Amino acid sequence: MSEAAKPGDPRFAWAPTEPGQLIGPGHPVGDFLDAPRWRILEEAPGLLRLDCPMPERVRNPRGQLFGGFAPTYVDLIALFTLRAGARAAPRRGWLATVSMRVDYYEPVVGAGFAVESRLQHRRGRNAWVATRFLDADGGRPLLDAHTVLRETDVPFDDT
């Protein structure tokens, strides 16, 4: 197969999306983060800009994004950034996160936040992605993250 997910394939239930939607329902991590409600503000090869609502379940008792969930957002967004602008293209292998660093500047608060994520560099099977969370107005940086992803030898269609 090694191509875009086919409708009805239960392994990729999240693949069908509405216009402006990054991921549909059915992905375990995506559903936890309420990713089907994320809205694509801009998508181009190696670039994603998103508007992400913040569900109550990812907040600490002060109403802020719990710090441990930030890397979960970063990981999922980095994977999609690598395929941004070419999501329908055939896939070669599953991606693995081999390194991630998150620098927190200010608490992520409110109903949601904006995200900018860019592919910085590719070399062989490795890709470096920079992801930034911004306040809901899209101006003030809240965190920066750098992720290294590696394309594995496991074919995309192999479970």
pLDDT for the residue numbered 156 = 64
Q: Say yes or no to pLDDT of 8 above 70.
A: no
- Average of per-residue pLDDT values in the chain: 88
Q: Which of residues 2 and 131 earns the better pLDDT score? A: 131
pLDDT tens, position by position, 71-82: 999 999 999 999
pLDDT tens, position by position, 92-134: 778 999 999 999 999 999 999 999 999 999 999 999 999 999 9
pLDDT for the residue numbered 80 = 93
132-142 mean pLDDT: 91
- Mapping DSSP onto H, E and C, the string for 86-135 reads CCCCCCCEEEEEEEEEEEECCCCCCCEEEEEEEEEEEECCEEEEEEEEEC
Q: Which residues contact 89 (CB under 8 A, 6 or more apart)?
A: 4, 83
> What residue type is 75 in one-letter code?
D
pLDDT for the residue numbered 12 = 67
pLDDT for the residue numbered 9 = 58
Identify whether 2 is part of a domain.
no
Identify whether 67 is part of a domain.
yes
Identify whether 32 is part of a domain.
yes
Q: Say yes or no to pLDDT of 2 above 50.
A: no
CATH number of the domain bearing residue 73: 3.10.129.10
Q: Say yes or no to pLDDT of 19 above 70.
A: yes
Identify whether 22 is part of a domain.
yes
51-75 mean pLDDT: 96
| Sheet with 93-104, edge to edge strand ranges | 39-44, 47-53, 112-123, 126-134, 141-155, 93-104
Identify whether 1 is part of a domain.
no
What are the residues facing 121 on neighbouring strands?
128
Identify whether 71 is part of a domain.
yes
pTM for the model stands at 0.88
How sure is the predictor about 67, in pLDDT bands with cuts at 50, 70 and 90?
very high
Which residue range(s) make up the domain with 95? 10-155
The structural domain count of the chain equals 1
